[in-house]
Amino acid sequence: MALTESKEIMIGTKAPSFKLKGVDGKIHSFEEISKGKKATVVMFICNHCPYVKAYFDRLIALTHEYQKKETAFVGINSNDETNYPDDSFEKMVTLAKRKELPFLYLRDHDQQVAKAYDAVCTPEVYVADSTNIIRYHGGIDDSWDNVSNVTKHYLKNALDDILANRTIQEPTPHAMGCSIKWA
């Protein structure tokens, strides 16, 4: 697993639109997902990356907590499924059922959405506010491999700031994880 860091250039820009197929078999758009929400969390994730695997339970818990606070969550898998078959749509469906994912899990088969967001790794997180402006882009917390060592909750704190209409108090950390597997 090659550790890759995000570029952090999207903050202050409008969240790129998309229409992608979800593991539920339906097509979902950014506009549909974000409509009426105070915040929309766009997570570039996949099935096989050990960094993502380590975060799944935390992302599920965050989703359950913040969906009650008018926040939408969506996971997007942009990895090349030809060379990385564990990231195929069929395996996404299986993982979503097994983990009982409470967020939409979408397939970016042509990788255009990852390119539009300038995403480079998994997990990499973007949070747009109610006007669809990206206010946060970075990591989830400061200990990917051991939840008991977490001292900084970057995503959670950013969500709290966005939902309270405050400037994000903590500097945005780089997301770190496996590189997106480009076709």
- pLDDT of 8 reads 66
Secondary element (H or E) of residue 53: helix 50-67
Report the Cα 39 to chain-centroid distance in Å. 13
Cβ neighbours for 117, distance < 8 A, ≥ 6 positions apart:
10, 15, 16, 42, 44, 126
Percent of the chain with pLDDT over 70: 96
Whether residue 171 is predicted with pLDDT greater than 80 in this model: the reply is: no
Whether residue 2 is predicted with pLDDT greater than 80 in this model: the reply is: no
Cβ neighbours for 41, distance < 8 A, ≥ 6 positions apart:
62, 63, 66, 71, 72, 73, 74, 125, 126, 127, 155, 159
User: Model's pTM, two decimal places?
Assistant: 0.96
Q: Which residues pair with 136 in a beta bridge?
A: 127
- pLDDT of 169 reads 86
Whether residue 5 is predicted with pLDDT greater than 70 in this model: the reply is: no
Mean pLDDT of the chain: 95
- pLDDT of 170 reads 82
Is the link from the previous residue into 85 a cis peptide, with omega within 30 of 0?
no
- Going by pLDDT thresholds of 50, 70 and 90, the confidence category of residue 91 is very high
- The string of pLDDT tens digits covering residues 93-144 is 999 999 999 999 999 999 999 999 999 999 999 999 999 999 999 999 999 9
Residue found by looking up tokens 């030809």 in the block: 82
Secondary element (H or E) of residue 154: helix 154-163
- DSSP class of residue 9 equals -
- DSSP class of residue 173 equals P
Would strands 104-107 and 19-22 be described as parallel, antiparallel, or unpaired?
Answer: antiparallel
* Structure-token pair, residue 20: 């992608």
Regarding the domain delimited by 3-179, which CATH topology (the fold level of the hierarchy) does it fall under?
Glutaredoxin (3.40.30)
- pLDDT of 64 reads 98
- What residue ranges do the domains of the chain occupy? 3-179
